[in-house]
Each structure stands twice: as structure tokens, then as C-alpha cells.
């Protein structure tokens, strides 16, 4: 007889783990199946030559209002973090700007882009504030909206870097309304930090608390099929080297594998209704990301314990030096750096060439300082494991057209949320639906 669970979760990324935490805290017995030996997906780390190198996420939301923090708090799991809130630096062609830790970040970066023109700064800043109160339409892109209010190239480049680095999509790819929903959401008491000992430590701590409450996490376990009977999800068929093929019954199935793979696991497109498939097909684009991690004998930037966002490049968008934030994350005298890039056009990307250009732009921004660097990661996150499974503003809902089958993760984020926070917010919504009487 098949072992039965209240909910079964496929994939132990941030969405899957936060869903497991919430449902376990609500008294459910949950099963998580994960194909990797590691937990966290893009919010994990790997050990490379004595360094704890992120698999993607760097800045982790940690405010009490964060869906991530709430999932940890429900199981009384502390988040071992170093706070980075306000430690932002922006680079444009004419120089660098450090965001004031006391606040006023939006006005400050606009003033920097406009090279201290106070009149134009105040005018554009007030336009942004107005848009946060009365959201623009999602039928135009943020670039379209921005160009209605400024033709300043520095401003456009600034927000291109901001969108690519913090939202995973370019100016011309994100709906205007979604940009301002994100800006409003992220400006409300947001706090960010970096995991002291790597993201994997955070996820392992959460996993222990989940299992201590009676739920299970099976690693190195591949999902073969989401079983559907009479239009309802009833369980999953999995396989592992250790246990072979197994079937588990479940009242609910949650997929943290991306909306497209959920459809494939559930028997293909014929199992879903036309309206759901139309929405799936309308904006099918993923958001690829380029990830470069390397170590040097000296930091590229001295005394910089924050996050650098680039608005002066085609592909390079972000740099952090984790060793200057948490020294134990790399060997003594060695400085771990993590940089990210994004395609200039995610729908028509040449990933190989644009990764090469990201590396070139890194050299151009820090001439001569990469001599002797030891590169640990030069990766293109795309395909089944992209930076995000959907573009910001074009997400799928957590519900599907199959009863008791849900999506969680970065392809089903709530409006105004993105990345790890968006994945956790999707878990919050799915858990709310599952634990309510009317779902």
C-alpha cells in the first residue's frame, strides 16, 4: 500500500522548501522529493576550492514581512545572516554612487543619473511617486513608460541595470505596472542580507525543522509522473537508486519545477484546459542569467561590503565580494567575488557570446585586476534551470486547471515580487489555498 501524505512537493528550491515549512507548521505531513543531494535550488551553495559559492541568490530578504522570513519563523528557525540593507553602489559611465544608508535611495540615484540637476531630479522623482500610487498599465513596458518622461541616457541606463540586476529582466521586457508594484513592495520595510556560511546552511536548517515535525525530504529522488485521476492530482511516481520506483499518495501536489515541466509531469498538454494553456503560451520566455564566481589575492574594490549594480554595460549587471562581508566564506587571504550578467534580449539571446561579453565587461570595469584570478564558476543558467522560469509580470498562477495541483517557485511569483522572495510568496499563497476550506 502506498505511503500517504497530506501534500507532496516536487523540488526543494525556495518555493518548495517554504511551502513545506508552511504546510508542516499548519499540521500537515509533507513529502518533498528533490533530484539533487542539495536543497535550495538557486538559493544554495557549492564548495569550490575552499569557497562557499552561491548557486544564484546573493541578497536574501530578511524583514519580518518577507515571505522567506515568515516561513523560517513559523518553524522557529533563525536565519544566520549579515544584513546588507542600504549597501548599494550604482555605476554609470560618469562614475559611482553609494546609496545613502539613511534612506532616500530613489531620489539619490535619480539625482546621480541626472548629474545633480535638482529641478529635473525632483520632477522625475515626483513622477515615480505618482506612478507608485497610480500604477501604469501592464500593456506598455517600463522602457516605454520611462521614455515618456525622460530622454536622459544616464537615467535609462541606470534603470536598465536596476531591472536586470534586481528583477531579472530588461527595461523593454517588464510591464510598467509590474515594475512599480515591485518598487512599492520592495520599499516597504525591506531588509536584505547574505547568509554567513552560505545559502545551503539556511536551507539545511529549515530542512531539519521540517523533518523534526514529522515531514520527509527525499534527496536524489527523481519525479517520473504526477498522477491524475478524474481531473484531480492524486500523488506522484518517483524513482531513486537507493529505493527504486515508488508511488506516494497525496491530497495535494505542489510543483517547484517550473510551470512547463509541471505540465509535462502531469501527462502533457491534453490534461489541461485551453485557457490555462493559452496563458502558459502567451509569454513562454525564461529569464536566463550568467553567473561568474572567482577568487583573487586582492579584492577588486577595497573596503566594499555591499552590492554594485552596473548601468554602464550591455551584459554585466551585478558584483558582490562575499569575502568582504563574511570572511569565513573563503580561505584566508583569498577574496571570493560573484558577478552576474543578463542577455540584452532574453527572447533572442546568444548565451555563449553574451557570457563571453560579460567576462569582457568585467575586465573593462576593473582593468588589470583580474590578472591571476582563479575562476570557479562560468555558468549560463537557462533551460530547465534558468535564473527565473518566467519574465517578471508574466507569471503563471499558483493554481492550475487540475484540481489540487499547484505551482510554486519563480515561475509563479505574486505580483510585485521576484526571485527568491517571489518564490516564497508563491508558497505562501499555495499554502493559504490548501489550508483554507475553499480551495
The answer to whether 67 and 22 have CB atoms below 8 angstroms apart is no
Identify any residues that bridge with 320 across adjacent strands, giving them in sequence order: 307, 338
Asked if residue 102 has pLDDT above 80, the reply is no
Asked if residue 115 has pLDDT above 50, the reply is yes
Nearest to 342 by CA among 294, 388, 403, 287: 287
The residue-averaged pLDDT of 313-322 equals 97
Q: How many CB atoms lie within 10 A of CB 417?
A: 25
Alpha-carbon gap, residue 9 to 240, rounded angstroms = 16
The residue-averaged pLDDT of 53-73 equals 95
Q: Mean pLDDT lowest for which of 186-195, 312-321, 326-335?
A: 186-195
The residue-averaged pLDDT of 81-89 equals 92
Query: How confident is the model over 250-278, as pLDDT tens digits?
Result: 999 999 999 999 999 999 999 999 999 99
Residues sharing a CB contact under 8 Å with residue 234, sequence separation 6 or more, in sequence order: 227, 228, 249, 250
Considering only the top CATH level, what class is 287-381? alpha beta
Q: How far is CA 116 from the centre of its chain?
A: 33
Predicted structure pTM score: 0.96
Alpha-carbon gap, residue 24 to 431, rounded angstroms = 10
Q: Which CATH architecture has domain 104-186?
A: Alpha-Beta Complex (3.90)
For the domain spanning 3-82+197-283+389-435, the CATH number is: 3.50.50.60
Alpha-carbon gap, residue 217 to 194, rounded angstroms = 25
Asked if residue 438 has pLDDT above 50, the reply is no
- Name which residue leads in pLDDT, 168 or 30: 30
Give the model's pLDDT for residue 190. Answer: 82
Q: How many CB atoms lie within 10 A of CB 81?
A: 18
Asked if residue 436 has pLDDT above 80, the reply is yes
The residue-averaged pLDDT of 209-214 equals 98
Confidence of residue 100 (pLDDT cuts 50, 70, 90): confident
Enumerate the CATH 3.90.660.50 domain ranges in the chain, comma separated: 104-186, 287-381
Query: How confident is the model over 23-56, as pLDDT tens digits?
Result: 999 999 999 999 999 999 999 999 999 999 999 9
The answer to whether 358 and 375 have CB atoms below 8 angstroms apart is no
The residue-averaged pLDDT of 103-111 equals 85
Q: What is the largest CA-CA distance in the chain?
A: 73
Vertex 111 angle, CA 65 and 194, to 5°: 35
Beta strands 316-320 and 307-310 are antiparallel
Give the model's pLDDT for residue 283. Answer: 86
CA dihedral over 39, 40, 41, 46, signed as positive or negative: negative
Task: Output the average pLDDT for the chain.
Answer: 95
Alpha-carbon gap, residue 71 to 79, rounded angstroms = 11
Asked if residue 8 has pLDDT above 60, the reply is yes
Give the model's pLDDT for residue 104. Answer: 60
Beta strands 335-341 and 316-320 are antiparallel
CA dihedral over 322, 323, 327, 329, signed as positive or negative: positive
Q: How many CB atoms lie within 10 A of CB 411?
A: 30
Percent of the chain with pLDDT over 70: 98
Vertex 425 angle, CA 423 and 426, to 5°: 65
Number of alpha helices (DSSP H) and beta strands (DSSP E) in the chain: 13, 19
Confidence of residue 214 (pLDDT cuts 50, 70, 90): very high
Q: How far is CA 251 from the centre of its chain?
A: 28
Enumerate the CATH 3.50.50.60 domain ranges in the chain, comma separated: 3-82+197-283+389-435
Asked if residue 377 has pLDDT above 70, the reply is yes
Cα separation values, 249 from 233, 258, 311, 328, Å: 9, 22, 50, 43
Q: Considering just the CA atoms, what is the radius of gyration of the chain in Å?
A: 22
All three cell numbers of 165, joined, read 540586476
Cα separation values, 422 from 28, 144, 368, 388, 433, Å: 23, 25, 38, 10, 17
Confidence of residue 303 (pLDDT cuts 50, 70, 90): confident
All three cell numbers of 43, joined, read 538559493
The answer to whether 410 and 169 have CB atoms below 8 angstroms apart is no
Give the model's pLDDT for residue 439. Answer: 44
Alpha-carbon gap, residue 408 to 414, rounded angstroms = 10
Amino acid at each position: 500500500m502506498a505511503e500517504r501524505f497530506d501534500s507532496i512537493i516536487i523540488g526543494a528550491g525556495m518555493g518548495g522548501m517554504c511551502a513545506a515549512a508552511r504546510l508542516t507548521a499548519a499540521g500537515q505531513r509533507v513529502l518533498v522529493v528533490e533530484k539533487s543531494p542539495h536543497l535550495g535550488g538557486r538559493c544554495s551553495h557549492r564548495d569550490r576550492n575552499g569557497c562557499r559559492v552561491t548557486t544564484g541568490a546573493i541578497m536574501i530578504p530578511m524583514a519580518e514581512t518577507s515571505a522567506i522570513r515568515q516561513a523560517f519563523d513559523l518553524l522557529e528557525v533563525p536565519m544566520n545572516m549579515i544584513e546588507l540593507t542600504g549597501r548599494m553602489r550604482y555605476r554609470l559611465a560618469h562614475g559611482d554612487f553609494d546609496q545613502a544608508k539613511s534612506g532616500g535611495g530613489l531620489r539619490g540615484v535619480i539625482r546621480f543619473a541626472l548629474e545633480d540637476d535638482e529641478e529635473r531630479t525632483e520632477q522625475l522623482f515626483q513622477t515615480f511617486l505618482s506612478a507608485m500610487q497610480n500604477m501604469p498599465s501592464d500593456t506598455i513596458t517600463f522602457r516605454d513608460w520611462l521614455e515618456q518622461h525622460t530622454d536622459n541616457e544616464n537615467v535609462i541606463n541606470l534603470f536598465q541595470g536596476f531591472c536586470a540586476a534586481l528583477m531579472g529582466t530588461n527595461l523593454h521586457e517588464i510591464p510598467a505596472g509590474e515594475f512599480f508594484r515591485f518598487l512599492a513592495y520592495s520599499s516597504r520595510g525591506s531588509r536584505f542580507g547574505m547568509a554567513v556560511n552560505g545559502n545551503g546552511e539556511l536551507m539545511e536548517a529549515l530542512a531539519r525543522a521540517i523533518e523534526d515535525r514529522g515531514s520527509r525530504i527525499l534527496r536524489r529522488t527523481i519525479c517520473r509522473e504526477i498522477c491524475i485521476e478524474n481531473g484531480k492530482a492524486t500523488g506522484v511516481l518517483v524513482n531513486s537508486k537507493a529505493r527504486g520506483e515508488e508511488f506516494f499518495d497525496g491530497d495535494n501536489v505542489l510543483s517547484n519545477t517550473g510551470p512547463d515541466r509541471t505540465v509535462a509531469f502531469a501527462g502533457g498538454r491534453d490534461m489541461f484546459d485551453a485557457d490555462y494553456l493559452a496563458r502558459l503560451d502567451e509569454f513562454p520566455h525564461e529569464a536566463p542569467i550568467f553567473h561568474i564566481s572567482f577568487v583573487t589575492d586582492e579584492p577588486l574594490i577595497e573596503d566594499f561590503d555591499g552590492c554594485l549594480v552596473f548601468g554602464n554595460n550591455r551584459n554585466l549587471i551585478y558584483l558582490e565580494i562575499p569575502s568582504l562581508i563574511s570572511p569565513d566564506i573563503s580561505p584566508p587571504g583569498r577574496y571570493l567575488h560573484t558577478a552576474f550578467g543578463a542577455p540584452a534580449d532574453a527572447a533572442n539571446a546568444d548565451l555563449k557570446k553574451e557570457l563571453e561579453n560579460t567576462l569582457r565587461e568585467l575586465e573593462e570595469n576593473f582593468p588589470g585586476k583580474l590578472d591571476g584570478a582563479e575562476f570557479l564558476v562560468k555558468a549560463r543558467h537557462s533551460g530547465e534551470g534558468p535564473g527565473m522560469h518566467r519574465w517578471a509580470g508574466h507569471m503563471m498562477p499558483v493554481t492550475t486547471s487540475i484540481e489540487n495541483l499547484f505551482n510554486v517557485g519563480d515561475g509563479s511569483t505574486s505580483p510585485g515580487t521576484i526571485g527568491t522572495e517571489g518564490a516564497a510568496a508563491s508558497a505562501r499563497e499555495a499554502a493559504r489555498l490548501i489550508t483554507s476550506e475553499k480551495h
